[in-house]
Structure 1
Amino acid sequence: MAIASIRPAAVAGQFYPADERVLRTQLGEMLTAAVPLETMVSPKAVIVPHAGYVYSGAVAATAYAGLAALRDQIERVVLLGPNHRLAVDGFALPAAQAFATPLGTVTVDRPSWLALQQRGDVVVDDRPHAYEHCLEVQLPFLQTVFDHFTLLPLLVGDASTEAVAEVLESLWGGPETLIVISSDLSHYHPYHQAQWKDRATIEHILGLHADLSHDQACGATPVNGLIQCARRHHLQAHLLDLRNSGDTAGDRNRVVGYASIAFCDPVPHASQHH
């Protein structure tokens, strides 16, 4: 594979350790310590935060620890997040055919990459991806909990909820496909105000209301699209963890909210077995 077609790690050494051994150790500790609020059964999709690991890694780990049971099942990860650095009209796929981290490279799912380009609102552009952290910080977790998987990395810019839902439906696949939405919650409110705001946001998500604003979640656009699909597929949302940077590694004057949420098939009630 030509070097030009690999997107190098942009935020290793900032958002997470650049040293492979240090990174593996930190991931192992976070995943071992993770105790989800709810047990989840074979999640189809998760929402996870994307700050530096010292801030949100423990929250993300509650979702990824629960996904470890799917190690032999997941072959493709569809990863969506908001663009933070460069405006995107619609959706941006990378031109790069692999993403590198200190743990190795992940190959882009080429059939999906080609198929998505049939849409008029999808551009192929490495520039929005070059320094974007929201997708990259998920990769070491994914590389740790899954053995072999391909990646469909998509940045979501100015797009409608319906457009995101259409894209997700086209990539939905079967039990071999996991959908990961990268999003933080509220930004830079005082601690208790953030707690109140984020709990209200979580109630919307758990109720499958696809009406989040970007004040509530920076990844509101992809989250709303996922919620719309979850309703169609009769998935249930489960809160796994909800904290903010004031709980993890920051001061409490200006905090950022983080949650991990899993979307699963409904658990059959015991009465149905009798």
Structure 2
Amino acid sequence: MLYFKEENDRLVCQLCSYYCKLKPNQTGICGVNKNTGDKIECLVYGHIGAINIDPIEKKPLYHFLPKTKSLSLGTVGCNFKCSFCQNHGMSQEKNIDKSKYHSPQDVVNIARKYKCESISYTYNEPTIFYPYAKDIAIEAKKYGIKNVYVSNGFESPEVIDDMKGLIDAVNIDLKCFNDKYYKKNLGGNLNQVLENLKHFKRNGIWVEVTTLLVPTKNDSKEELESIARFIKEELDEFTPWHISSFHPDYKDLDLPRTSFESLKLAHDIGKDFGLKYVYIGNIGFDNNTHCPKCNEIVLKRNRFEVLENSVKNGKCPKCKYELEGVYPKMKSIRKTGFCGSFYPESKEEILSYIDDFNKNFEVNGTFDTKAMIVPHAGYVYSGFTANIAYNICKDKKPKRVIVIGPTHNVYYEKASVALYDEYETPFGNIEIDKKYSQELIEKYDVLGFNEELHLEHSTETQAPFIKHYFPDAQIIEMIYGKVDYKALSEVIDEFLEDEENLILISTDLSHFHTQEKANKLDNICLNAIAKKDMEMFDKGCEACGKIGVKAIIYSAIKKNYNSKVLHYCTSYNKTKDASRVVGYTSALIGN
């Protein structure tokens, strides 16, 4: 949206429902949006006044991603003037600290680093910095991070419409039900806030309502009944109503704290009017969520802490009633199957292996790696060889790593792409790019999803290396059976088109020959890789992942990439038994 419009010699700000008409160099009621001549500039863009990681329950939101973390931020300034404001140090401040700048990407990176599932725009009124919040929200959506507004509800209708698809939830302060008090003591007007609440609902944004009970100001029985009636009749009976306790602050230092009797009165009024979710906040009172159908406690809370959460995929565990709100879906995990056998169970022990592999390690020259060929036996046998390739590529920052390996246990005439949410490793789970994986399956006939194939060591042994060397990357797991290497190469060609992809081809070489024979057979494979000779692969190469290796070399020929063999060894190096060995190699494909 355009945040302003021209009207005669003025620019009209369209962020909130004041629609301030500003002359050049004039600032709006909020104190932070200024007519700079040809536009209205949001002066606080990038200049954060406070940023913290909070439980989402602190917003308060009780029916939106419960028991998750939200990165909360605000600037200075506000379009209201509440005398009891409990964040007045920010909201009523006009001086902007511009010593630090946080780009939208910076904010999202912080949220990702600390695994926040949402970003909350809060502390002061976020509508006044909507241009900044919107740009953050757009960036956040790229990573599946949701966005929350904690607001006084005085947005312009244009902004509320612009929020569709960007802002996922709002908590609106319905401060009273007295229009005169709104206009004289707070700001804005009651009718506009009520209309905006309905507007948020119509736009499919999850809504929760908060009322701070201020003694003698908004705590009469009649006013509380009006609020409860409005929520029930104009929003719906499932809209959560949070009733918060006031403490003396800002200009209302002479008022007493809200009594428990007053809070309980409001709670009971809400319940009597048929509201299903009414909560007394910030005093340690019963904040549990009950299933509206069977009355089972589905979320047990103490203030902002969730003590028990039995909601499963948004449903009551007892009667399966679908609870109102936005709930995290249970993540499907590609579980480990070879942890403790092919590689250690503990992160510390794996790191010990890697540290040992990297002793006296030197990299000569540069190579723009597009793909790696790595072995997949137990780390004691092939870990050193695999680690050479990973170490050389450690400075790459791929968005996703595609690991392709052969099935050893299940017959399959396609390649199976994992459609789980996350991939388990001793270093922590890796996010699977599920959308990308699904799109691949829909596009290529050679691809499918067969869950049985994804208990496979050829790919799993790579996961700890991936998490260690590329901690921010997503993963794609592809396990192939009896497929044509040219068909697989077509999929690889698409992977190679994206500079943010890194491909891993997992294979061991010959199995269970004498050391002498293994060296001869493996040499055929190594020469085929180094020389990019497709015919040579069929002259004695016995790699278990030969289809994958042939596919990447075929793609390398088409793309005119180079190949470079890094290391070769056999299990003899560890066992000292030359009668029955397995061969291992690592190589790079690129320029």
Q: Same fold (TM over 0.5)?
A: yes
The match for 1:220 is 546
Aligned partners of 1:230, 1:219: CA distance in 2, in Å?
17
1:190 aligns with 2:514: yes
Query: Structure 2 matches for 1:50-89, cutoff 5 A?
Result: 50-70=376-396, 73-89=397-413
Query: Could you report, residue by residue, the CA deviation over 1:23-70 in whole angstroms, capped at 9, with x for unpaired residues?
Result: 22222222345456x644121111000000001001101111101121
2:419–2:434 contact (8 Å) kept in structure 1: no
1:29 aligns with 2:356: yes
Q: Which moved more, 1:201-210 or 1:219-228?
A: 201-210
The match for 1:127 is 452
- Bigger Rg over Cα: 2
Q: Which moved more, 1:99-108 or 1:206-215?
A: 206-215
The amino acid of 1:47's aligned partner reads I
1:242–1:258 contact (8 Å) kept in structure 2: yes
2:331–2:421 contact (8 Å) kept in structure 1: no
2:512–2:582 contact (8 Å) kept in structure 1: yes
Aligned partners of 1:263, 1:186: CA distance in 2, in Å?
21
With structure 2 as the length reference, what TM-score do the two structures score?
A: 0.43
Aligned partners of 1:19, 1:149: CA distance in 2, in Å?
21
Count residues in correspondence. 261
- 1:156 Cα deviation after fit: 1.2
Aligned partners of 2:528, 2:388: CA distance in 1, in Å?
20
1:91–1:156 contact (8 Å) kept in structure 2: yes
Moved over 6 A (4+): none
The match for 2:416 is 92
After superposition, the Cα gap between the structure-2 partners of 1:254 and 1:50, relative to the gap in structure 1 and judged at 3 Å, is: same
Aligned partners of 1:129, 1:33: CA distance in 2, in Å?
36
2:421–2:434 contact (8 Å) kept in structure 1: yes
- 1:184 Cα deviation after fit: 0.5
1:241 aligns with 2:567: yes
- 1:120 Cα deviation after fit: 2.3
1:56–1:248 contact (8 Å) kept in structure 2: no
The match for 2:587 is 261
The match for 1:17 is 344
The match for 2:500 is 176
Query: Could you report, residue by residue, the CA deviation over 1:81-104 in whole angstroms, capped at 9, with x for unpaired residues?
Result: 000011121111123221101111
Query: Structure 2 matches for 1:197-208, cutoff 5 A?
Result: 197-208=521-532
Asked which structure has the greater RCO (Cα within 8 Å, sep 6+), the reply is: 1
Aligned partners of 1:109, 1:210: CA distance in 2, in Å?
32
Other structure's SS at 1:69 match: coil
Q: Which moved more, 1:132-141 or 1:104-113?
A: 104-113
After superposition, the Cα gap between the structure-2 partners of 1:75 and 1:188, relative to the gap in structure 1 and judged at 3 Å, is: same
After superposition, the Cα gap between the structure-2 partners of 1:59 and 1:2, relative to the gap in structure 1 and judged at 3 Å, is: farther
1:238–1:262 contact (8 Å) kept in structure 2: yes
1:111 aligns with 2:438: no
Query: Could you report, residue by residue, the CA deviation over 1:201-229 in whole angstroms, capped at 9, with x for unpaired residues?
Result: 11111111234359521101111110111
After superposition, the Cα gap between the structure-2 partners of 1:33 and 1:217, relative to the gap in structure 1 and judged at 3 Å, is: farther
1:150 aligns with 2:474: yes
Other structure's SS at 1:101 match: coil
Aligned partners of 1:120, 1:114: CA distance in 2, in Å?
12
2:419–2:438 contact (8 Å) kept in structure 1: no
2:372–2:389 contact (8 Å) kept in structure 1: yes
The amino acid of 2:423's aligned partner reads F
After superposition, the Cα gap between the structure-2 partners of 1:3 and 1:14, relative to the gap in structure 1 and judged at 3 Å, is: farther
2:430–2:475 contact (8 Å) kept in structure 1: yes
2:418–2:451 contact (8 Å) kept in structure 1: yes
Aligned partners of 2:451, 2:329: CA distance in 1, in Å?
15
2:525–2:541 contact (8 Å) kept in structure 1: no
2:565–2:586 contact (8 Å) kept in structure 1: yes
The match for 2:81 is none
Aligned partners of 1:122, 1:98: CA distance in 2, in Å?
20
Query: Could you report, residue by residue, the CA deviation over 1:78-135 in whole angstroms, capped at 9, with x for unpaired residues?
Result: 11000001112111112322110111111111232111112222221221112x1010
Query: Could you report, residue by residue, the CA deviation over 1:244-266 in whole angstroms, capped at 9, with x for unpaired residues?
Result: 1012345211100000010121x
1:55–1:250 contact (8 Å) kept in structure 2: no
Aligned partners of 2:361, 2:506: CA distance in 1, in Å?
18
Computed over aligned residues only, the root mean square deviation of the Cα atoms, in angstroms, reads 1.8
